[in-house]
Amino acid sequence: MKRYVLALDFGASSGRAMLACYDGNSIKLQEVHRFVNTPIEKDGNLYWDVPQLMQELETGLQKAYAIAPFESIGIDTWGVDYGMLDKDGKLMGNPPHYRDKRSEGYSERLCAQMTSETLYARTGTQIMDINTLFQLMSQRDDEGFSGCHKMLLMPDLFAYLLTGTISAERSIASTTQMLSAKTGTWDTSLLDAQNIPASLMPAIVESGTEKGVLSQEVQQRLSLPPIRVTAVCGHDTQCASFAAPAKTDKHIFLSCGTWSLFGTQCDSPILTPQAANLGLSNEIGYGKTVTFLKNIIGLWLIQESRREFERQGQHYSYAEIEALATHNLSTPCAIDPDDPCFVAPGDIPGRVQDFCRKTGQPIPQTPGAIFRCIYESLAMKYRTALEELERCTGETYPVIHLVGGGTKDRLLCQLTADFCQRPVVAGPIEATIYGNAAIQLLSIGAIASPQAARACIANSETLKTYTPGKFPELHYRMFQNMIKQEK
């Protein structure tokens, strides 16, 4: 008997609704709706267009149900961003975008009150200005919390708009810098110290539990029955991590999309000063597993460079970008992908050139040279993250499972294998969707265990292995020295 669930995946630049059909052995995915996620600008600030996104979500529900009567809906999104509800349950304006500059400098302000090591030991989260805690500190100083009743992170907000149920799924809550790494509950004393009302925080629920069913209003408007909404791992990274078809416990997963998430699974959080200083993060996945990882800017650099060249009248497909970079033989140069200058939208190619000029390197002159610089810099950043993870855990990881959109980029996969000197197993491309669907299937009893779910995912895809070539040691040492000088 075939079982159907609907996976809704909201990325930072696009979203899709995908129908997943489980036949007892494998999962077949069918894309039913895809849409662009374009932020809106108002008075110099960036926001997420929630009304438009909800319209797209509901279109996806209707299209999918016309194909097959699915039993469950699961929603995953990017991390850290949130919307505010008033006491009547109404959304108080569009949620701010994490690339908005309103929270810049707030991590430094807090770490002037307590050391970064202390904050990290409490929350286990990499300290970044975009984190929810610092966004809330910015809101406190700007418009305050008058009239605010509850804060909902993005997947929880979409689920609320479908069901009317208020809660916070654990994996997305672990991105906020407000969850205690030791107790798994909101760190209310941290919130109190920053004059952020702890009452704004919803009750935490586990991934794989039921959020609720479609409200009567939604049922009537969309002509749908009372379908269950399941709390999958609300953070897309944790859905992708769950889907990595690893055959060994010791492995690295690399979820490669707009962001790169490079990490491994541990039995418990690693809260040492060393981990704090290296900018590593402890997130919570399905079954309260701990994912120890590094957040790295990813293919955003390629995506935004492509958009900039389009603005200049030069149009490249992603296949053409890969070919240009593959055949570029100019003098190597490198950037730090995580330098703050690369965060905001705009002229990334120009910033790459400025960075190389500032650091005394050869300046890439052609699109191919710029793209090659970005690709190699990402691969070298992955090598650095691998070394940091192994130092903190004391383990050696024999394989990297690269999942997500980056699996389509053969050059990046091979460069990752070369610089990390580990075989790279690429696939599945739709890891986030597979993880989302598999958690739903576990929740409704169609699949018996997480191990069975991963085996099912492996049966559903053809994976490709990239064998390490020669290690470009001189280029990597140059990269390391450049990073040290920047710091």
Cα gap 292→296, rounded to integer Å:
13
Here the tokens at position 294 are 């590094």
Rounded CA-CA distance 112/117 in Å is 12
Query: What does the DSSP assignment read for 26-49?
Result: -EEEEEEEEEE---EEETTEEE--
| Encoded amino acid at 445, one letter | G
Catalytic residue among 236, 336, 409, 418: 236
Local structure of residue 450 (DSSP, 8 states): H
Q: What are the start-end ranges of the E strands in 420-486?
A: 424-426, 464-466
Crossing angle of the two packed helices 300-311 and 367-393, in degrees rounded to 10: 160
Q: Is 76 a catalytic residue?
A: no
Which amino acid, one-letter code, is at 328?
N
Q: For residue 172, what is the enclosing H or E element?
A: helix 170-173
| Residue 362 CA from chain centroid, whole number | 32
Q: Is the dihedral of CA 358, 363, 366, 372 positive or negative?
A: negative
Tokens of 280: 């590593």
In the numeric block, the tokens 């400025």 are attached to 354
Cis previous bond, 51, omega within 30: no
Kindly provide the b/e burial profile for residues 325-341, where b requires at least 16 CB atoms within 10 angstroms of the residue's own CB: bbebeeebbbbbbbeee
| Pairing relationship of beta strands 3-10 and 72-76 according to DSSP bridges | parallel
Q: How does DSSP classify residue 383?
A: H
Contact assessment for residue 311 and residue 349, using Cβ atoms and an 8 Å cutoff: no
- In this structure, are residues 157 and 173 in contact, taking their beta carbons and an 8 Å threshold? no
SS3 8: strand
Q: How far is CA 253 from CA 241, 292, 393, in A?
A: 7, 10, 15
**By three-state DSSP, how is residue 159 classified?**
helix
Task: With beta carbons less than 8 A apart as the criterion, state whether 239 and 189 touch.
Answer: no
| 204 alpha-carbon distance from chain centroid | 20
Q: Which residues are catalytic?
A: 236
